[in-house]
Structure 1
Amino acid sequence: MPQIPSTTKGMQTRAHLLSSARAVFGRDGYVGTTMSGVATEAGMSLGGLYRYFADKEDLFAALVADTHDELFRASGTTAHRLEEDPYQALLDANTGYLTHYYDNRDIMRTLVEAASVEARFRDIWWQMRSRHVTRFATVLKMKFGMDEVDGLPVTRVAEAVACMVEQSAYVWYAQDSLQEDPIPVDQAAQVVTRVWHASFFGADRGSSV
């Protein structure tokens, strides 16, 4: 059974294994990655790797866990208040999300692949999306009394716009090797923020344009 390290050396070894696994998952994808490949990358015996992780699924889940929480925090940290300056608050949130997505594009690309073949990662992917949608819809209801947008449930509209951001991030950054004209994060954040803002607060944002 895999062990949870309690010593400094053990924690350093686990961190090294995760770093090596990230390199292999990023290079070979989820399906193409093997435990032996990770062990080779880490310069460790296969038995040594199994002392820390039960299998490939367990190994990738450990990589995804921190990214999941960090992505949620990054998109929730804003310098502006939504009720005072909606556009700037949305821009802050989208910049945080896209910056973290870009920095972890290898993991996010692999997660999309893993979600298509493993129910565990499908559920993690779904939870990541749902947390973002629920948080934003709740804020709109609490701060603006917004239950609907032009007669449509606010949660459904938030879900649609969140899907737009997620897919844009995947196309722009998870598949960045296919991009002939890369889009900087600050520009990407402005693009998706215009759609967010127009969807909930109207296309005209006055002096913020």
Structure 2
Amino acid sequence: MPHLPNTTKGRRTRTKLLEAARSVFARVGYVGATMSGVATEAGMSLGGLYRYFSDKEDLFAALIADTHDDLFRASGATEHRIEDDPYQALLEANTGYLTHYYDNRDIMRTLVEAASVDPRFREFWWQMRNRHVDRFTTVLRLKCGMEAVDGIDVRGMVEAVACMVEQSAYVWYAQEELQRAPMPLDQAAQIVTRIWHAAFFGNRR
């Protein structure tokens, strides 16, 4: 049975296996990845891999376990309060999100693929995006007294704009090799922030 190691050596081995898994998933995708491929990448036996992870799904779940929380924290760490300076607060939130997305673009690309073929990861992706939408909806309602925008329910607006940021990050970074030119992170953050700000606070800066 797979287990969480309680020795230093075991923890190092598990980390090594996750690093190998990340390389394999990034190279061949979720569907193409195999346990034997990860074992080969790590220079371990297949039996050794199964002592730590029960199957490919368990391995990928472990790989993305921290990414969700890290992404959520990165997009919420703002120095400015949205009720005082909405543009700067949004810019800081979007910069945090996009930077962390970029740093984990291989995992995020694989997650999108996994979500399309595996109900377990479709649910994970759904909860991940809804956590962001719920947080910002709550902030707008509590901090800015905003229940609707021009008669449209604020949560629907938040969901639409959040989808724009998520898809932009996917196109710019998860599929960056298809871009004619790289999208700098600071420019990306400014682009999506202007759209966020215009949607909820008008064009005033």
TM-score between the two structures when normalised by the length of structure 2? 0.99
Q: Which runs of 5+ in 1 are unaligned?
A: none
Question: Partner amino acid for 1:38?
Answer: V
Once residues 51 and 18 of structure 1 are traced to their aligned partners in structure 2, the CA distance between those partners, rounded to angstroms, is: 13
Q: Does 1:102 align with 2:102?
A: yes
Question: Partner amino acid for 1:65?
Answer: A
Q: Deviations over 1:99-128 (max 9, x none)?
A: 000000000000000000000000010011
Q: Does 1:6 align with 2:6?
A: yes
Q: Deviations over 1:117-163 (max 9, x none)?
A: 00000001001100000000001110111110110110000000000
Q: CA deviation at 1:79?
A: 1.6
Once residues 75 and 16 of structure 2 are traced to their aligned partners in structure 1, the CA distance between those partners, rounded to angstroms, is: 28
Once residues 204 and 129 of structure 1 are traced to their aligned partners in structure 2, the CA distance between those partners, rounded to angstroms, is: 28
Q: CA deviation at 1:181?
A: 1.1
Matched ranges for 1:1-209 at <5 A: 1-205=1-205
Question: Partner amino acid for 1:134?
Answer: D
Once residues 129 and 204 of structure 1 are traced to their aligned partners in structure 2, the CA distance between those partners, rounded to angstroms, is: 28
Q: CA deviation at 1:74?
A: 0.2
Once residues 65 and 165 of structure 1 are traced to their aligned partners in structure 2, the CA distance between those partners, rounded to angstroms, is: 22
Count of residue pairs brought into register by the alignment: 205
Once residues 146 and 84 of structure 2 are traced to their aligned partners in structure 1, the CA distance between those partners, rounded to angstroms, is: 16
Q: CA deviation at 1:55?
A: 0.3
Once residues 153 and 8 of structure 1 are traced to their aligned partners in structure 2, the CA distance between those partners, rounded to angstroms, is: 51
Q: CA RMSD in A?
A: 0.5
Q: CA deviation at 1:67?
A: 0.6
Once residues 14 and 79 of structure 1 are traced to their aligned partners in structure 2, the CA distance between those partners, rounded to angstroms, is: 36
Once residues 204 and 95 of structure 2 are traced to their aligned partners in structure 1, the CA distance between those partners, rounded to angstroms, is: 21
Question: Partner amino acid for 2:157?
Answer: V
Question: Partner amino acid for 1:21?
Answer: A
Q: CA deviation at 1:4?
A: 1.1
Q: CA deviation at 1:84?
A: 0.8
Q: Which runs of 4+ in 1 moved over 4 A?
A: none
Q: CA deviation at 1:25?
A: 0.2
Q: Which runs of 5+ in 2 are unaligned?
A: none
Q: CA deviation at 1:201?
A: 0.5
TM-score between the two structures when normalised by the length of structure 1? 0.97
Once residues 4 and 64 of structure 1 are traced to their aligned partners in structure 2, the CA distance between those partners, rounded to angstroms, is: 16
